[in-house]
Amino acid sequence: MKRVSKAVALIAAMLLAHGARAEENTLEWLTNFQRMKEVKPVESKQYREECGSCHFAYQPGLLPARSWEKLLDADALRKHFGENAELDKDTLKAIRDYAIENAADKSWYKRSRKIALSAAEGVAPLRITEVRYIERKHHDIPEKMVKGNKDVKSLSYCDRCHTQAGDGVFDDDTVDIPNYPGWRD
């Protein structure tokens, strides 16, 4: 029993020493692996409504904090991928804080950690499709199934194929590419 207590204490100390944080607390993270498997679902109603009014409300755990810092800058939002996505100062602060706080490099969710580790030091991808981990996971999908697919058009539309994307689940077994039933067979 002493060894288990020491092991838990050691793990907790290591997590704290690296400035890492768990979702609610370290003990919950250590004992709840299933919940931590994918990407943390969007919990902020304001984030979901503001970002989701134009596109899929991407989970902050799909990009590192440095990406969200660049994307959610007042100047950057005026020309957000060719659109004006300006927000009032208070709304922008709330959404920016939420995204940075829940970014891939600050999350304990397994897929978010993989995303964070794949982002080169100092690089701030502005598109989720530019993240090396995401590119690697999609490299074997033929272009005709994405760009040539009228119901998908781009990898940017995560929820077109990932049937549980809104819940932060991107497992291969939840993928259904429109117009290509049985594509894995």
**pLDDT 10s digits, 134-149:** 999 999 999 999 999 9
Whether 161 is in a domain gets the answer yes
Question: Measured between alpha carbons, how far is 138 from 61 in angstroms, rounded to an integer?
Answer: 18
**Residue 8: per-residue pLDDT:** 62
- Bridge partners of residue 175, in order along the sequence: 162
**Residue 21: per-residue pLDDT:** 45
- Residue 113 Cα to chain centre, angstroms: 9
**pLDDT 10s digits, 75-114:** 999 999 988 999 999 999 999 999 999 999 999 899 999 9
Whether residue 151 has pLDDT greater than 90? yes
Q: Note whether 132 and 108 are same-domain residues.
A: yes
Q: Note whether 100 and 12 are same-domain residues.
A: no
**pLDDT 10s digits, 18-45:** 444 444 455 655 555 545 789 999 999 9
Whether 84 is in a domain gets the answer yes
* Mean pLDDT over each residue of the chain, to the nearest integer: 86
Quote the pTM value.
Answer: 0.79
Q: Note whether 49 and 23 are same-domain residues.
A: no
Instruction: Please check whether residue 106 is in contact with residue 29, taking contact to mean a CB–CB distance below 8 angstroms.
Output: no
**Residue 17: per-residue pLDDT:** 47
Backbone angles phi, psi at 83, to 5 degrees: -120, 155
**Residue 34: per-residue pLDDT:** 46
Domain span at 157 = 45-174
Cα torsion angle, 41, 44, 48, 50, sign:
negative
Whether 37 is in a domain gets the answer no
**Neighbouring residues of 5: CB distance < 8 A, sequence distance ≥ 6:** none
Burial code (b: 16+ CB inside 10 Å, e: under 16) for 50-62 equals bbeeeebbbbbbb
Q: Note whether 106 and 168 are same-domain residues.
A: yes
Instruction: Please check whether residue 64 is in contact with residue 124, taking contact to mean a CB–CB distance below 8 angstroms.
Output: yes
Q: How far is CA 47 from CA 5, 87, 166, 177, in A?
A: 39, 11, 13, 27
Whether 185 is in a domain gets the answer no
